[in-house]
A and B are shown apart, each in its own frame.
Chain A
């Protein structure tokens, strides 16, 4: 990873700081949470007690109360741990946000913290491998998955500009800064980090860091692979993405979720089929189902087949089987 002049922050703190600043000027922003904090959240609680509400450990009510506030014209940011804000209250999200927003204008932004393995030692209750699948199943739910705090904070503008229900999938850990030169254009839905010869790695969230590392390792072997950050799942500039993918014979999806279960890999399979792209796709995700082993995130990733060494081996094999 390149050394960064920008001090890395937690995604949530970078986003909450944007929200806190905006709340001072915009009285229509409301913040709700399910008893989940952060240092920056303390500023929101202290400075805007009338537009901050902690519903307690009650994610179903978090969603319904947020929906009600949105019906009264508030732009709502609802904040909780990722598996709980997606799965504990899935039907509330479906009925009170996805369905209702088809009829009535609403802007509710769900911020889920704890994507993938980012709650490393907390085990599978707090880890989150299914959320992309579940949230992208709702056709009007925008799913936004940043890879560092710079791109996470920039999604605030997207939340304000684009109405409707959204799910922001945040890592719980402080990750190195990738976007050292400024945030990517989120309206595109993806960002090209490097272009390669025959293979491109498409990754989202934390896995972008892995993809960049793998690309660097392969470069030492004179294998030049491209890397694309998938920032938004469900919506992207399809023509531009097609143009980026068309030259490649092999396309590799990398996600901290179960492969073949409707996640980012399904999005790419579907996109390639609909667009008539002929590249071969390899989907890399969390293998082996639910696990309870303890370890560092790097160790866990290698165990389930998504660590840099595991990905490197899979991409080498994949490259060997491609007819270029």
Chain B
């Protein structure tokens, strides 16, 4: 893995720029929820957390990373291209006819494991994968990235109880806790209250972290990965939806807002 020597902050900024550029070309993509999760994915993929093989994306030796908040992961396109899962040139064709990079990622994309976009499925599937790995005697880990809004889906809580029951300490849930779903702040819709405390009460090992401090995210993920306490692990990453884009950042309707192309151009010029 070439990640050890990467400056994670620089890489996160590069991914932020590339994500804006992808959205500039393909405004059908969901920008705001992708911007909140950039440091999470950078820490996972460049921070020595997830084991992967771009030449063989389904290698048995990989960690499984299930991206449950599918449409909010367009930032994974530049990451996967940069890591060699597919050519960088493909980023020029997102959402175009014939491209495999759609508005919502699917497992036809090298590096994606499951069908995403319909929310609330990733954690349950990941729990099954984690159980299967344990039964095979594998020491590989399963990472799930989900949004906090997505946790309104009850199937997640079936999986949360299941993971605790089966002591799936190879299962890592990373919550992109941007506190906004489609129509507003989750606290105004159905609040998760103290999410870490709730997950802890369900038997999970929980950490909270500033989700835009990529070094802190990496450190927390590595710490949890090294623990084998017979408990599934959750990292609550406190993030801002639309991070870094004026007018979009933390706006209650940011999920369905598209910044003007001129604003994106201006941001890309200002922040090389």
| With A53-B166, A55-B162: A60-B133 Cβ-Cβ less than 8 Å | no
Query: Which residues of chain B are within 8 angstroms of A55 by Cβ–Cβ distance?
Result: 158, 162
Q: Is A73 an interface residue (CB 8 A)?
A: yes
Pick the contact of B131: A69, A95, A104 (CB < 8 A).
Answer: A69
Contact A71 B155 (CB under 8 A): no
Task: Answer yes or no: B114 CB below 8 A from chain A CBs.
Answer: yes
B128 at the interface (CB under 8 A from A): yes
In the complex, the answer to whether B124 meets A71 with C-beta atoms within 8 Å is no
How many angstroms between the C-alpha atoms of A63 and B121 in the bound complex?
10
Determine if A61 and B106 form an interchain contact, defined as CB atoms under 8 angstroms apart: no
| Size of interface on B: residues with Cβ below 8 Å to A | 29
- Chain B CB within 8 A of A67 CB: yes
Contact between chains at B161 and A100 (CB < 8 Å): no
**Contact partner, B162, options A50, A61, A72, Cβ 8 Å:** A61
> Does chain B have a CB within 8 A of A91?
yes
The answer to whether B129 touches A68 (Cβ under 8 A) is yes
Interchain CA distance A104-B66 in the complex, whole Å: 14
B127 at the interface (CB under 8 A from A): yes
Cα(A51)–Cα(B132), bound, Å: 9
Whether the Cβ atoms of A65 and B115 lie closer than 8 Å is no
Give chain A interface residues in 57-103, CB to chain B under 8 Å. Answer: 58, 60-61, 63-74, 91-92, 95-96, 99-100, 103
Judged by a CB distance under 8 angstroms, whether B207 is at the interface is: no
What 1/0 mask marks residues of chain B from 216 to 247 whose CB sits below 8 Å from any chain A CB? Answer: 00000000000000000000000000000000
A78 CB to nearest chain B CB (Å): 10
Complex CA–CA separation, A131 to B161 (angstroms): 28
Interface set, chain A 17-68, CB cutoff 8 A to B: 30, 50-51, 53, 55-56, 58, 60-61, 63-68
- Could you tell me the distance between the alpha carbons of A74 and B130 in the complex, rounded to whole angstroms? 13
Query: B87 interface residue, CB < 8 Å from A?
Result: no
The complex places the Cα of A58 from the Cα of B113 at a distance, in Å, of 23
CB distance from A119 to the nearest CB of B (A): 24
B118 within 8 A of A: yes
Query: Which residues from chain B contact A67 at a C-beta distance below 8 Å?
Result: 114, 124-125, 128
CB contacts (< 8 Å) of A30 on chain B: these are 132, 135
Residues of the A chain whose Cβ atoms lie less than 8 Å from the Cβ of B108: 103
Q: Is the CB of A96 within 8 A of B132?
A: no
In the bound complex, residues from chain B placing their C-beta under 8 Å from that of A91 are 118, 121
Contacts of B166 in A (CB 8 A): 53
Residues of B near any A CB (own CB < 8 A): 58, 106-108, 113-115, 118, 121, 123-133, 135-136, 154-155, 158-159, 161-162, 166
Given contacts A68-B128, A103-B106, 19 further A-B pairs with CB under 8 A are A55-B158, A58-B162, A60-B155, A61-B127, A64-B121, A64-B128, A65-B159, A67-B114, A67-B125, A68-B132, A71-B125, A72-B128, A72-B133, A73-B136, A92-B121, A95-B121, A99-B115, A100-B115, A103-B108
